[in-house]
Amino acid sequence: MSTLIYYNSLTALFIATSIFGLLFLTQFNENKATLRNYRIVKRILTVAYLAVAVGSLPELLVQLSGTTIVGSRDILFSQVINLTVAITQAFIFTHSTMLLLDTKKINSKIVKYQVVALVIYITVAILSYLLLPKKATEAVVFVLTVIYFIALGYFTVRFLRHFRQFRIIMDNFYSDDVTARMHWIKVAFFAALFIGTFALFVTYYCSVVNETIFNLTSLCFYTFFGIRLLNYPWQFEIIEMPMTEKTKYEQSFSAPNTVTGLTSYEDMLHTNSDTSIEQWIAEKHFLKSGITMDDLAKFLGTNRTYISSYFNTEKGITFRQWINILRIEEAKLIITDDSKITMTELASRLGYADTSTFFRQFKAKEGVQPSVWKQKNLSN
């Protein structure tokens, strides 16, 4: 029974990865220059998905022939193969998820070094199995396993740094937490690392049950990531403008602003921008739902990149943090003036998309929920 479940899970994994691999290969997308990285990711993951499908095929064919090979493998050979596959998958999914968070090219020099290191790793693993005695190969496999986990740590640090930069860029453009909509990429990254680690565990503790669990876990991951990746173009618009503007900013920061003639945010501070910002606040534009840095820049008649630098450098906060500060202060005034207002109505008036976001932001600034603050301050 357990063997049957194992082969059914392997069949499902084969079918799912084959379908998604073919969809990645054939799906038509709008030919936008900013979707270049997405097209690269699809090509890379086409290979990754089809490789999983092809890797499952031999065992399925053996099962169709009426025999079984579960539990009868060369364990050392499986360890070598799983190490090479796991580190390759970690490399692929790390760079794929990073590419999905940006519209620019990644650092090709770093990638080349990593590819060389990856090729050396795989070569050492395979040659050690083919040429060295069993004891020596076991020692090499142990060292390669340690290196693998070090590599996972390196990939994790790189990805988290990249994701943190992505969040800062989004928070400097949107008043809403749009990064939450792309949180699936972070989930996918850590899920990919877990799958790679789980594969090694299954190799060392090989059993039908463990391999079945591994197949089902892999099936969930590849299906989740496949669906999300196919839907990515419809999510991309939330990062396209901030990331594209960031690229322009990095390329032409020293050039004067074509609207104001300013060359830096320091110059902006010597204009009437402070007065204009005060006017913008007085007119309560920050209560507009979905307000962005572009809206503020248009009001001031300047480039948003300079305003962003002003907030980040002078105030030490992002645009989203600043908007939330203004909204929470406004919330306190509204609560004081209208004690009968509901929290749902208040959240809507403040420009929040949902009440839970308002509650979270209010508590982050005041330390208590708005209802508690209301009870405490109106009773005094």
Final residue of a structural domain among 180, 213, 244? 244
List residues bridging with 292 in a β-sheet: 174
Same-domain pairing of 227 and 122:
yes
211 and 240 assigned to the same domain: yes
Rg, the chain, Cα only: 27
Residues 278 and 238 in one domain: no
Q: How far apart are CA 50 and CA 304, in angstroms?
A: 44
- Round to whole Å and give the CA distance between 86 and 101: 23
Q: What is the pTM of this model?
A: 0.83
Does some domain include residue 312?
A: yes
Provide CB contacts within 8 A for 84, sequence distance 6+.
Answer: 121, 122, 125, 126
Determine whether 75 is exposed, middle or buried from the number of CB atoms within 10 Å of its CB (0-12, 13-18, 19+): exposed
Would residue 319 count as lying in a domain? yes
Q: How many CA atoms lie within 13 A of 63 on its CB side?
A: 15
Query: Do 25 and 126 lie in a common domain?
Result: yes
The answer on 359 and 321 residing in a single domain is yes
> How many helices and strands (H and E) does the chain possess?
16, 0
- The range of the structural domain enclosing residue 285 comes to 255-378
Structurally, how many domains does the chain consist of? 2
Domain presence at residue 151: yes
Note whether residue 259 is domain-resident: yes
State the CATH number of the domain containing residue 290. Answer: 1.10.10.60
Q: Are residues 122 and 147 located together in one domain of the fold? A: yes
Say how many C-beta atoms besides its own lie within 10 A of residue 274's C-beta: 12
Do 29 and 168 lie in one domain? The reply is yes
> Which pairs with CB-CB distance under 8 Å and at least 24 residues apart come from 211-220?
211/6, 211/70, 212/2, 212/5, 212/6, 212/9, 215/6, 215/9, 215/10, 215/12, 215/13, 216/9, 218/13, 218/52, 219/9, 219/12, 219/13, 219/16
Query: Do residue 161 and residue 63 come from a single domain?
Result: yes
Residue 113 lies in a domain: yes
Per the DSSP assignment, residues forming a β-bridge with 174 are 292
Domain with residue 79: its CATH number is 1.20.1070
Helices (H), 172-236: 183-204, 208-235
Tell me, yes or no, whether 239 and 271 share the same domain. no
Q: Which two tokens stand for residue 320?
A: 């989203």
Where does a domain end: 218, 244, 270? 244
* 181 and 286, same domain (yes or no): no
244, 268, 287: which is the final residue of a domain?
244
| 74 and 54 in a common domain | yes
> Count of CB atoms within 10 A of residue 275's CB?
9
Per-residue pLDDT of the chain (380 residues; tens, 9 = 90+): 778 888 899 999 999 999 999 999 888 766 777 888 898 999 999 999 999 999 888 878 877 766 554 444 467 888 888 899 899 999 999 999 999 998 776 777 888 999 999 999 999 999 999 999 989 999 999 999 999 999 999 999 999 999 999 998 899 999 988 888 899 999 999 999 999 999 888 888 888 888 899 999 999 999 999 999 999 988 888 888 777 655 444 443 333 343 334 434 444 444 444 557 888 999 999 999 989 988 888 888 877 777 887 787 877 889 999 999 999 999 999 998 888 888 899 999 999 988 999 999 999 999 999 888 988 887 65
Same structural domain for residues 31 and 67? yes
Q: With respect to residue 249, please indicate whether it lies within any of the assigned structural domains.
A: no
Q: With respect to residue 304, please indicate whether it lies within any of the assigned structural domains.
A: yes
Does residue 250 belong to any structural domain of this protein?
no
